[in-house]
Structure 1
């Protein structure tokens, strides 16, 4: 679990009480100060971190600044603060992250290359890496750097509002989805229509795709172009998704029409086990092509429709991540899909009566 520590050292005294209250109510993992008196009244649910130049006999977690290898070797505690400004201090941060329980790192340069090096050095180490960040934008980057991210972030908030925003950032995750097996009932050739290819800024895994459907009640897991195709190279960032009117499932259980996707939009990558992750759309490409409608049904009797390009190279995923070419589907074949329990209004789930056909 990613976590955040709030740094009180530079928070103005006028805002300090509100910031501490926000940290307690939003269940921030820790509060850092250089004055023990600021930590004494905190509840035991929060890690009280004392950052001091000289180790003290304190009931709190004591973190000591370290600026050379000799000081690191003689460190009486299992926690250190390292400022990285050159190759020597970068190596020091790596050594600390490999062996200490807590390593707080402040990078003086804006590039994230040194952070990537420390993350790689600490991979598999039992301790926690905490990175100093200047704002919420940097916190979001640091938490995902190198697909692993720093274990935690240390931020000095401007006010209580920033504490709550940081807590929400940490809660932002992509929970798994419950996938179901759909049985194909019919296939209909529709003639010419407009279909959308969704090109993302990330690679898809071989058993990943996006969930697309004509109705808000159900979606089919459309396969990416990660697998080899005749006559054309693979495009592991692309899903040939379906007709422009189709719903595509995105983060936070929200849908968009495929026609609405733009560079910078968000979609949800879903694998055959239901694991999800948020992806950024790099481009949405609309072209006129012959179309094919796949009609399938869930075990509960929910009808799911998907209109896709009528071509062999367009594929969907079946149970176990089996790759299925849409023009070779037959009634009785099984697909992976997702059934939604709510109807939709401007992409948001809502419990109202709505009939789609």
Structure 2
């Protein structure tokens, strides 16, 4: 579980009370402050943090059990010291002099099997978001000096960010209809999909089919493990936080949701979205409770969707009765947000 400490030492007095209140309200794990009266007033849910600057290895072993080592990393010797502290101590705070994240990667790798916690000093929320994901593991915690209470609440939301697994359902193909030309979207992401991963796409906001990534071998062309040939541009694509976008809205820098055959999810960044005219076909499928799910995709053998167990289906070979993986949503949509209103889609 990622956590954050709030650094109050440079907070102007007029903002101090509101920032402390925000830290308490959001249950920040710790507060760093030189004012003993502020620390004494904290509730039991927030810890008053004590740190000691260390510059030599021998100083690491003189620290109390509740005191975090503070290491300033600005060259190779100080980087080695940070690695030693992260391996040996329960709490290590590291501030890196340079904007590159390579020194952080080295400390994380050195302390990979350590039971201690690494806290990285961050200049702002954007850096905190990056630090929490470095090497796919990230720093255990971040230390931020907020400018106002709003940044504390934003930091809390950042810590809570993540993607929950989805309960996928089995859909049964009802019919396949072939159409003429239309515009479809290939979603090229900045990630390497697994063979049982794709994205959830559908013509209706209440039902999606798991479109397969191009990770499986194809004749005549190499695989594109970053790509999903997703569907017609009007289609909904399910993203993080139960939000949807139209495929036509995706562009470089957008975020969408990778989903595997077991329902595990992760956010992925879109590198580009390719809109091209191609022949189309529509898959109509039904869930066990007779909910209809529809998806319009490119009418070509190399476009694939996933079935139970990660079975790969070429869309041009689908037949009535074939089983696909999908996701049913109970809410309608308004500008991508779920909303409990009446809306009938056909």
Q: TM-score, normalised by structure 1?
A: 0.94
- Structure 1 residues not aligned, in runs of 5+: 52-63
Aligned partners of 1:302, 1:193: CA distance in 2, in Å?
Answer: 26
1:304 lines up with 2:293 in the alignment: yes
Equivalent residues in 2 for 1:12-91 (5 A)? Answer: 12-51=12-51, 64-77=52-65, 79-91=68-80
Deviations 1:230-266 (A, max 9, x none): 1111111100001111111111211111111111112
Q: Is the 8 A contact 1:34 1:50 kept in 2?
A: no
Shift of 1:76: 4.3
Residue pair 1:215, 1:305 contacting (<8 A) in 2 also: yes
Equivalent residue of 1:193, what SS? strand
Deviation at 1:36, TM superposition (A): 3.1
| Among 141, 148, 163, the residue aligned to 1:152 | 141
Number of the residue aligned with 1:132: 121
Query: Counterparts of 2:199 and 2:107 in 1: how far apart (Å)?
Result: 33
Deviation, 1:197, is 0.3
> Paired residues, what number?
345
Query: Which runs of structure 1 show a deviation greater than 4 angstroms over 4 or more consecutive aligned residues?
Result: none
Rounded Cα–Cα distance in structure 2 between residues aligned with 1:140 and 1:119: 16
Aligned to 1:220: 209
Q: After superposition, where does 1:74-223 map in structure 2 within 5 Å?
A: 74-77=62-65, 79-223=68-212
CA distance, structure 2, for counterparts of residue 93 and residue 67 of structure 1: 9
What is the aligned partner in structure 2 of residue 256 from structure 1?
245
State the shift of 1:207 in Å. Answer: 1.3
TM-score (norm 2): 0.97
The within-5 A match list for 1:201-350 is 201-350=190-339
- CA separation in 2, counterparts of 1:322 and 1:120? 36
Structure 1 residues 27 and 73: CA distance shift in structure 2, 3 A: closer
Q: Does the 8 Å contact 1:35/1:50 carry over to 2?
A: no
